[in-house]
Amino acid sequence: MLFSMVNMKLRDEYDSLEEFCECEDIDPASLLVRLNAAGYEYDDEHNKFTPILDPLFSSEDSVPKENSVSTNNSNSLDNSSQNLLLK
């Protein structure tokens, strides 16, 4: 909900995150920490928060990078992939 509200305000009312935080009396560092913890990062070029990309995927083609899947005989996922699936 915070993500949606902040992006709506940035889109409709403010030209930058700094302006938004100043006018709304919000600590920018606290807002960044809170949204980063929820999986979002600020994109100042587009003046909005966007989901943090999964490091197992390349940004170019959305195909898992090499070595993201274990190559042992059972073809099981490595620990980091298993953890992502459990979230």
Domain residues of the chain, as ranges? 2-51, 53-87
Q: In Å, how far from its chain's centre is CA 9?
A: 18
In the predicted model, what is the mean pLDDT of residues 13-28? 97
* Residue 69 DSSP SS3: strand
The whole-angstrom separation of Cα 39 and Cα 50 is 8
* pLDDT tens per residue across span 27-42: 999 999 999 999 999 9
* pLDDT tens per residue across span 47-74: 999 999 876 654 554 444 555 444 444 4
pTM for this entry: 0.60
Q: Are 47 and 11 in contact (CB under 8 A)?
A: yes
